[in-house]
Amino acid sequence: MLQQGNYVADVAYFIGEDAPKMTGICDPALPQGYSFDYINGEVIQTRLSVEDGKLVLPDGMFYRMLVLPKLETMRPELLKKIGELVRQGAVVLGPAPKYSPSLQGYPEADQQVRKIAASLWGNVDGVHVKSARVGKGMILSGMEMQEALDMIGVVPDCKFAREDPALFIHRTLPDGEFYFISNQSDQTILVQPEFRITGKRPELWSPVHGTTRTLPAFKQNTKTTVVPLKLEAFESQLIIFRKHADKPGSDEMASNFPEGKPIGEFKGSWTVSFDHSMRGPSKPVEFRSLTDWTLSANDSIRYYSGTAVYRSTLKLPEIPVGKRILLNLGRLTAMAKVRINGKEVGGVWTAPWQVDITSAARQGTNEVEISVVNNWMNRLIGDQKLAVEQRPTWSPVIPYNAESALQPSGLMGSVSVLVFSY
């Protein structure tokens, strides 16, 4: 089981002391492959400390750099605390403040700000001189973020190709590193993220199936590890580094995500039971092929919103020992739960639309039951075609009209069974 870990961010952007101020901007912009947090004056002044050159919070969160906004104001007591952090080993990027934003202690407060700033920035003007050592730490100014990060030796934490529509979150655990990777597009993507870790073997933990497996394909560099990944539309994966890599990884992408081998077949049609109380058909309907409900000529199916239960039989040959058997549902809207031979085996709500049926499948004939549910969209659209007094549905805001496009619903395409060796 995963232990609770600390979120990893390389940069803390100070949001400034102007009021009201609840968030900030990333200036200079953070390059790809790094992560950040916003931080306010109260946290800097009362909770931030330095350990091993890193800015640390009491709950374990740490940063490699504090970035100041391009403002000329800062309270003297806050600037004094930042000076203490720098002398203890912190790295600060930003221009020297000149005044206090408050009238408290005026004009002595402004004089204090200029005096403290001079002791920190010295001749660092962001033009002719851009960096200086102060105590154990550093003051930087007039730099782009990549230049500043390179200066202190911080490589990207999780770097994708520029065109990859993927994001990450990183937490560090007592026994390893944990990355949450997500595909932000509606297409399957093949990516090769470069993780800021070496010497450990990657594992994939599936948030959908609750399974874990080692990824044999990876490449280790001096400071990073490259792992080929395949993510389905909007899919997310957990990549864990915790076990020692005692040998180099494979170079083959397919070894991380091997194709499943088709096994077994569905015979005949599907019997689909709709909920009559939700204005579905009163009797089960035979589907000779799996088609979108919205293509039906029957309005009780075309505009149906709710749960429908698909039933059919699946004939399987001898079950391979030590293999995983997945029921591939093809494409559907919006969620589904599966029962095999009366046993619940799980559900899906995102791509890939696959359910592990290993625990319930058996040789010979298997009874398959798939419950699929869509949302209210189609029923709301269908009801716009009725007189107001005839509409059973109601919502304070309905962003649809009678001509709005319907949402494809139900099981669409083909259902198949795949066997995997992992």
**For the purposes of burial, counting CB atoms within 10 Å of the CB of 226, is it exposed (0-12), middle (13-18) or buried (19 or more)?**
middle
pLDDT in tens, 50-79: 999 999 999 888 999 999 999 999 999 999
The correct CATH number of 158-255 out of 3.30.450.90, 3.40.50.2300, 2.60.40.1180, 3.30.70.270 is: 2.60.40.1180
> At 379, which helix (H) or strand (E)?
helix 377-383
Residue spans in the chain of domains classed CATH 2.60.120.260: 262-420
**Topology classification of domain 262-420:** Jelly Rolls (2.60.120)
Q: Tell me the C-alpha distance between 7 and 221, whole Å.
A: 24
Q: Residue 5: which pLDDT band, with cuts at 50, 70 and 90?
A: low
Q: Tell me the C-alpha distance between 112 and 76, whole Å.
A: 6
* Contact call for residues 100 and 90 (beta carbons, < 8 A): no
pLDDT in tens, 350-399: 888 999 999 999 999 999 999 999 999 999 999 999 999 999 998 999 99
Asked if pLDDT for residue 20 goes beyond 90, the answer is no
pLDDT in tens, 125-177: 999 999 999 999 999 999 999 999 999 999 999 999 999 999 999 999 888 99
Residue spans in the chain of domains classed CATH 2.60.40.1180: 158-255
Question: DSSP string of 250-275?
Answer: BS-GGGTSPPPEE--EE-S-EEEEE-
Asked if pLDDT for residue 2 goes beyond 60, the answer is no
pLDDT in tens, 233-268: 999 999 999 999 887 777 676 789 988 999 988 878
* Contact call for residues 391 and 346 (beta carbons, < 8 A): no
| Strands of 416-420's sheet in order across | 261-262, 416-420, 324-328, 354-356
